[in-house]
Amino acid sequence: MFRKAFSDSVPVMAGYGTMGFAAGVLLSVNGGVSMPALWGAFSSGTFISGPLQYLFVDWVRTSASIGGVLFVVLCVNLRYSLYGLSLLDTFKGVGFWTRTYLIAGITDETYALEVACDLPPERKRRYCLFLTALDHMYWIIGVTAGALAGAALPVPSKGIDFAMTSLFLVILTEQCRERANRLPAIIGGVSVIAVFAVLALILGMDKARAEMLIPTMMLMVTVLLAFRRRMEKGAAR
Amino acid sequence: MMDGKTMYIVSLIVSVGILSWLIRALPFLLFGRGGEPPKVVSYVGRVLSPAAIAMLSVYCFAGYACARPPAENLWGLAEIASGILTVALQWKWRSPPLSIAAGTILYMMLVR
């Protein structure tokens, strides 16, 4: 069981290792904290998420307000609550703490492998546990190693923050392969540009950028709800 | 003991961790004994993610626009070129580490 989980997880190791490493380097170079490796390990172990790990650097550097941070977390990760729907049966009959851990470990990659696996229930549960632990470990090691390397080596760091922009562009590109995601992505993009433009006129650019996410998310949800009928019709076609 | 910044980071990590867990646990808490989510909830859950990622991409670019005045910045040429490279590589090869590394390295070379 462990062997299957391990061999399935090798591509995840490559992905999490490199992306985590970059997030760790960014944390030590741009985060402005004294023990980046400690914070890298603690954060990557607690919330397992690529986008949040990169945003974490910004939050720490600017001491972002926690309320605003949680709002962003909700919007970025709400899709995970749908993943759980297709894992309800799989995780049934698992002990309380194990299930708590399996739930914490749901990510895009781990979820995809869990759903794809068609073992009998008893063996599948063990498979899921090994897989979750392995993926979790790759992520922690990636981020921590990156934070250590960033602190130890004189990495030429100017412009390295573009790694975060690239990560979002990569996720966006993957999402837009699916036709049904394109209109929501456009709505998100147009909303944020509109809010930024309006706020920049009132508050100036720097303040506008700092304040824009919450109003944008409100606008976005409103517009998405207004487009619901059309989008569901489009998806059914 | 802990200074203010340390306290802040700990509470940040803990609260993000708790919320992240709650989001993932929601279906288990609500529908663990059967039942279906309301349609509007699953709709928002499905479409919010691409919208939020698009928002965050623009947010990053807005950060570069704020950091330096546009004229000094060649109107974002370095950012746009590196962004296009990232998207193009991802579209063609579908390898996130490759696309991210290439985009970031190009950007680092351009802003030097």
Of B20, B40, B82, the CB nearest to A162: B82
Mutation target to probe the A interface, by most A beta carbons within 10 A, among B7, B16, B26, B90 is B16
Say if B30 is an interface residue toward chain A (CB within 8 Å): no
Of A80, A158, A208, the CB nearest to B108: A158
CA A51 to each of CA A17, A31, A47, A57, B111: distance values in angstroms, whole numbers, following the listed order: 15, 15, 11, 10, 24
CA A3 to each of CA A108, A138, A186, B7, B101: distance values in angstroms, whole numbers, following the listed order: 21, 16, 42, 41, 30
**pLDDT < 70 positions in chain B:** 1, 70-71
Q: pLDDT by residue (tens digit) across A78-124? A: 888 888 888 888 898 899 999 999 999 999 889 988 988 889 988 99
User: What pLDDT, on a 0 to 100 scale, did the predictor assign at position B14?
Assistant: 97
Domain ranges of chain A: 2-152, 178-236
Contact list, B107 vs chain A (CB under 8 Å): 159, 162
A224/B57 touch (CB, cutoff 8 Å), yes or no: no
How much is the ipTM here? 0.89
**A188 pLDDT exceeds 80?**
yes
CA distance B47 to chain A (A): 6
Q: pLDDT by residue (tens digit) across B97-110? A: 899 899 999 999 99
B50: buried, middle or exposed (CB in 10 Å: 19+, 13-18, 0-12)?
Answer: buried
B21/A170 touch (CB, cutoff 8 Å), yes or no: no
Q: In the predicted model, what is the mean pLDDT of residues A134-147?
A: 96
B55/A217 touch (CB, cutoff 8 Å), yes or no: yes
Of B49, B59, B90, the CB nearest to A192: B59
The pLDDT-based confidence of A198 (bands split at 50, 70, 90) is very high
- In sequence order, what are the residues at sequence separation of 6 or more whose Cβ sits closer than 8 angstroms to the Cβ of residue A169? B57, B83, B86, B87, B90, B99, B103
User: What pLDDT, on a 0 to 100 scale, did the predictor assign at position B61?
Assistant: 92
Of B5, B20, B104, the CB nearest to A47: B20
* A24 vs A28: CA distance, rounded Å: 6
A79/B57 touch (CB, cutoff 8 Å), yes or no: no
Nearest chain B residue to A205 by CA: give it: B66
User: What pLDDT, on a 0 to 100 scale, did the predictor assign at position B75?
Assistant: 80
